[in-house]
Structure 1
């Protein structure tokens, strides 16, 4: 029963992180990026997360693919698009950005699934290697997001850029 509540809490926290305007406006910088609320990395930044954690066994089982993650990403993107008031002329840059965000989240979910297994059953060195690989994947995915983010930012008007500065690139660096 405790595992059920822990899983439910993670799903709720991830959902809130993706759709909450207050989360979107958080300016936690590097510490946030490495575990202060980013749903794709936060679990790596805080180790075992108390009694929950990564995979089976002593690490819980919280890291499997969340069935509503796609809907949360779509909701977060819809919120961001609305706040930015994207125009028809800006639509191609927005589409490229939204595609990059979606691909990044899918990549990170797949990476988390692999890490979850290692964290639950691996040795201490294997778990460390899994974390290193996860952090490297996070870095590469952020680098891949940068051109789409710059492309979107370059077509925004000054008032839209002010909104983007508040809502994009905070905790996760992705969106």
Structure 2
């Protein structure tokens, strides 16, 4: 297949996929597939627009302090490492709060239909803005992790390498993909 023909087919396929979203989103139940409301898409999972997902997300924010306390204990943070730890834990808390606020806003817009009423370019811009915000949060976390990691001894670094990212809800640890 020629390069030009392949490019045209790829663009056409991408347009079909992107343009079909509003059609699929406005079927029965307000979700992507029949019976799946936006609550299900955003983590509800039980019925139309279930509160189960919202309770889970709010609980995740409440558990940040517990996760940080566990991590601090496992790392055996010393008094000399306290300043780096405090910066790290503040960054994690602020990142979680910002991320959860952004997700709540996006869920509200999806559940009340505002998101799907926006023109495609605005929806893509909104999505891109959310992704860029998340990248900035991760960059901030990376900087504070770098400072903390530099202050750790070798045994603490080994513990951090094994448990830190899954504990922060970032997915991959050395053991593979983790749910957050």
What TM-score do the two structures reach when normalised by structure 2?
A: 0.59
1:90 match: secondary structure: helix
Contact 2:61 2:100 in 1 (8 A): no
Residue 89 (str. 1) matches residue 80 (str. 2): yes
How has the CA–CA distance of structure 1 residues 132 and 144 changed in structure 2, closer, same or farther, with 3 Å as cutoff? same
- Residue in 1 aligned with 2:159? 163
Select 1:109's aligned residue among 85, 88, 100.
100
- Residue in 2 aligned with 1:44? none
Farther off after superposition, 140-149 or 64-73: 64-73
- Between 1 and 2, higher relative CO (CA 8 Å, sep ≥ 6) is seen in 1
1:60 match: secondary structure: coil
Which runs of 5 or more structure 2 residues have no equivalent in the other structure?
Answer: 1-30, 174-180
- Residue in 2 aligned with 1:99? 90
How has the CA–CA distance of structure 1 residues 144 and 48 changed in structure 2, closer, same or farther, with 3 Å as cutoff? farther
Query: C-alpha distance in 2, partners of 1:136/1:48?
Result: 25
How has the CA–CA distance of structure 1 residues 90 and 154 changed in structure 2, closer, same or farther, with 3 Å as cutoff? same
Q: Deviations over 1:63-107 (max 9, x none)?
A: 647443443001110111111010111111101100000000000
Residue 68 (str. 1) matches residue 59 (str. 2): yes
Residue 148 (str. 1) matches residue 144 (str. 2): yes
- Residue in 1 aligned with 2:41? 53
Q: CA deviation at 1:115?
A: 0.9
Query: C-alpha distance in 2, partners of 1:128/1:60?
Result: 23
Query: C-alpha distance in 1, partners of 2:153/2:86?
Result: 17
Whose Rg is larger? 2
Q: CA deviation at 1:169?
A: 3.1
**Once superposed, what is the RMSD of the aligned Cα atoms?**
3.4
